[in-house]
Amino acid sequence: MQILLFSDVAGKKELRGWHRVGHHINYAEYKQRTYNPLLERDINYFELDFQLEFPHTSDTCYIAHCYPYTFSDLKDDLDYLSSIRSQEIFRRDILCESQAGNSCFIVTVTDESVPISQKKFVFITARIHPGETNSSYMMRGVLEFITSDDRVAQKLRSQLVFKIIPMLNPDGVIIGNYRCSLTGKDMNRNFRHPRKQTFPTIYHMKQLMQDLQKEEHEILAFCDLHGHSRKSNVFAYGCDGCDGPQPNMKNFLNARILPYIMSRTAPEMFAFDYCKFHIHRCKESTGRVVMWKEMLIRNSFTLEASFAGSSIVEKPCHFNIQDYEKFGQCICQSLRQYLDILCDSTRLDSIFLDITKSVLRKLGKEKIPPALLPAVYPEEKQTDEPQISITSVASCLQVLSQCHDTINEQDASSSSDSDSDPEGGELPDIPYRKEDQSLKKKLKKKRSEKIIEERVQRIAHKREANEESNGISGTNGTNGTNSTNGINDTNRRIRVSYPYTSEIDMNSQLKLTLAVDQMDKATRTLPPRGTLFTSKYANRSGHGLPIFTTERALERRQVKLF
């Protein structure tokens, strides 16, 4: 993936905005060769290398990971829509205020002339992770299309009420966080029991949804827009509830209808094969899972758009702003098709057949029963063995039940996604066994003790070799200086590297440190202790919140008083 560049000179002369640049791009784990007091030893760091040529001299250039979209951009977009759209279809309100006093906007789009009792609700949210700016451009596409005069948009407004929260984490966006809120917490891990003071936007959104359900309004779908840094294309993470021993395969198919329609609406962008519907243990407090479990919303999705681009087209390419906005329109068009299909049993059965074949095709020829090969792969040669045909919904359910274990295993083995932890994979869905853990600890302890002994011996041999080489060359100068290079050997530093060690190996690391110290304390030089930087916030407490945020909140309150 190339980086983005904005040039002031090119913007003024050529009217050129953000564009892709760079070559020889490499992102890899950082191998620390020299001591750096700013980096901790027990953390894995990564480094990004790239080369680029600046297009103009005496220019100011900006580099970005993705197309920027700020809180001010959102306010400008909402102001523009408010000025050109009728109040009968578009209304902007403030859901609540964030911790820092910033407004969390909520937009309601519907046809006021149609009674609300005849409509269903759809919730669409974005920017719960501030750094995923591409989700805001998808949201812009949704807002522009659903408020337009298009016939599909008019039909949707007469059937649905759209509750749109374009920026769930305004504080994180304003202060420049990538994933967290003002308090340093991942908001997409706190949907189950959100605190009103800590996560006000999530709390009030859930309260609104609960109030609607108490009034017996049906919530048709919940869609949380995200960005993905590892995979390409656009795809969805959903919930089908088929993780248990006796899954309901009808729910299996129903959960996949809307993503499958999106793959047909935007075949050059949306990859249905990338979609996952397994619920990992570490995802039970995310938005999509909580809305599915607590609110009983059948269509609850995390919609992921790649920072990079599409790999399912003939020639892979990067996504640009227009692509993200176009897919926002596709979300609305897919909802319109979904409503039509629910009212047409023939089309619904056809969708079920297509989804079944697509799921089986994803498994591969090696993992599906041989009797199913002709039905899934028509190009396969016919054999004399009995064959299973997929011609009805009943046959789909039967076939999926037979292959459920294989499908579930493949669906569970997914890479890290946007609503998971930023680094690392999934938590294993297996019971904890104390015996296995204790055995692993014993084996790890034996290995670490052996490694310590080998390192101590290696350091001792190196020290002896240095002493022998110094003795052979002689000391022809004063103060024991070597005649070959003129450097005092007593001031030489022998670096001792410490690999990453967990808490279990803390005693082993301590043994290694003591062993090296006892051999020769002069061989190790510790970095000087003390403060490297002076901060105006030193020795001050914000009582759990960053001090600058409390100061800013006080300033805003004083302005409101006057």
In tens, the pLDDT along 118-140 reads 999 999 999 999 999 999 999 99
Task: Give tens-digit pLDDT for 488-509.
Answer: 443 433 333 334 444 445 555 5
Give Dmax over CA atoms of the chain in angstroms: 101
Is the pLDDT at 560 greater than 60, yes or no? yes
pLDDT at 424: 36
Residue 304 pLDDT > 50:
yes
Percentage with pLDDT > 90 across the chain: 56
Asked if 191 and 281 sit in the same domain, the reply is yes
DSSP 130: T
What tokens does 77 get? Answer: 């977009």
Is the pLDDT at 233 greater than 80, yes or no?
yes
Half-sphere exposure for 334 (CA within 13 Å, toward CB):
24
Degrees (nearest 5) of the Cα angle 70, 128, 88? 75
| Rounded alpha-carbon distances, angstroms, from residue 453 to 236, 508, 513, 515 | 50, 10, 12, 9
Q: Given pLDDT bands bounded at 50, 70 and 90, which one contains residue 38? A: confident
15 shares a domain with 156 = no
- pLDDT higher at 280 or 548: 280
Residue 439 lies in a domain: no
- Amino acid at the residue 356: T
pLDDT of residue 351 exceeding 60, the answer is: yes
Q: Indicate whether 52 and 76 sit together in one domain.
A: no
Is residue 389 one of the residues assigned to a domain?
A: no
What tokens were used for 562? 């006057």
Pick 151 or 395 by higher pLDDT. 151
pLDDT at 147: 97
pLDDT confidence bin for 435, thresholds 50/70/90: very low
37: domain range?
3-64
- Of 125, 140, 169, 122, the closest CA to residue 78 belongs to 140
The answer as to whether 392 is a domain residue is no
CA-nearest of 407, 378, 405, 406 to 390 is: 378
Q: Is 179 a domain residue?
A: yes
Domain end position, chosen among 47, 64, 81: 64
If you compute the radius of gyration of the chain from its CA atoms, what whole number of angstroms results? Answer: 30
Name, of 26-40, 471-485, 547-561, the range with top average pLDDT: 26-40
pLDDT average, residue stretch 280-296: 93
Are residues 234 and 266 part of one domain? Answer: yes
Class of residue 246 by CB neighbours under 10 A (exposed 0-12, middle 13-18, buried 19+): exposed
Rounded to whole angstroms, how far apart are CA atoms 54 and 73?
27
Residue 449 has pLDDT above 70, yes or no: no
Instruction: Taking residues 434-439, report their average pLDDT.
Output: 48
Tell me, yes or no, whether 364 lies in a domain. no
Q: b or e along 170-193 (b: 16 or more beta carbons within 10 Å of the residue's beta carbon)?
A: bbbbbbebebbbbbeebbbbbbee
User: What are φ and ψ of residue 334, in 5° steps?
Assistant: -65, -40
Given a cut of 90, whether residue 510 has pLDDT beyond it is no
For strand 219-228 and strand 103-109, is the pairing parallel, antiparallel, or unpaired? unpaired
Residue whose token pair is 């050109």: 84
Q: Are residues 149 and 10 in the same domain?
A: no
43 and 91 housed in the same domain: no
Q: How many domains does the chain have?
A: 2
Residues 170 and 290 in one domain: yes
pLDDT above 50: residue 243: yes
Q: Are residue 239 and residue 258 in the same domain, yes or no?
A: yes
CA distance 107 to 89: 10
Residue 144 belongs to some domain of the structure:
yes
The string of DSSP letters for 15-36 reads ---SEEE-EEEEEEE----S--
Report the C-alpha gap between 137 and 320 in whole angstroms: 10
The answer, as to whether pTM is greater than 0.85, is no
Question: 135, 304 in Cβ contact below 8 A?
Answer: no
3-state percent breakdown (helix, strand, coil) of the chain, nearest 5: 45, 15, 40
Residue at 299 is within a domain: yes
CB of 211 closer than 8 Å to CB of 121: no
pLDDT of residue 391: 79
Of the three residues 314, 329, 353, the one that is the final residue of a domain is 353
Give the integer Cα–Cα distance in Å for 220 and 121.
6
Q: Going by DSSP bridges, is the β-strand pair 120-126/160-165 parallel, antiparallel, or unpaired?
A: parallel
Catalytic residues: 304
Quickly state the pLDDT bin for 141 (edges 50, 70, 90). Answer: very high
Query: Could you give the CA distance from residue 204 to residue 187 in angstroms, rounded to a whole number?
Result: 13
pLDDT (0 to 100) of residue 43: 82
Long-range contacts of 193-200 (CB under 8 A, 24+ apart): 197/99, 198/99, 200/96, 200/97, 200/98, 200/99, 200/104
- Please report which helix (H) or strand (E) contains residue 405, including its range: helix 404-412
Average model confidence (pLDDT) across the chain: 81
CB burial string 508-517: b at 16+ within 10 A, e below: bbebbeebbe
The answer to whether position 475 is within a domain reads: no
Examine the fold and report which residue of 43, 64, 85 is the final residue of a domain before the chain moves on. Answer: 64
Residue percentage of the chain with pLDDT more than 70: 74
Residue 305 vs residue 47, higher pLDDT? 305
Supply the pLDDT for residue 169: 97
Among 125-139, 222-236, 381-395, the least confident range = 381-395
Q: What is the pLDDT of residues 525-544, one digit of tens each?
A: 444 444 444 556 666 666 66
In the prediction, which pLDDT does 427 show?
34
Report the run of H or E that residue 141 belongs to, with start and end: helix 134-146
pLDDT score for 34: 73
**pLDDT score at 379:** 64
Query: Are residue 92 and residue 233 in the same domain, yes or no?
Result: yes
Residue 4's pLDDT is 96
Hey, which residues does 305 pair with through a beta bridge? 227, 234
Residue 405 in tokens: 């274990």
Work out the burial of residue 157: count CB atoms within 10 Å of its CB; fewer than 13 is exposed, 13-18 middle, 19 or more buried.
buried
Query: Which residue would you say has higher pLDDT here, 184 or 381?
Result: 184
| CATH number of residue 276's parent domain | 3.40.630.10
Cα separation, 169 vs 165, in Å, equals 10
- Does residue 29 share a domain with residue 168? no
Contact 103, 74 (CB under 8 A): no
Are 222 and 175 in the same domain? yes
Q: Are residues 273 and 183 in the same domain?
A: yes
Give pLDDT, residue 381: 57
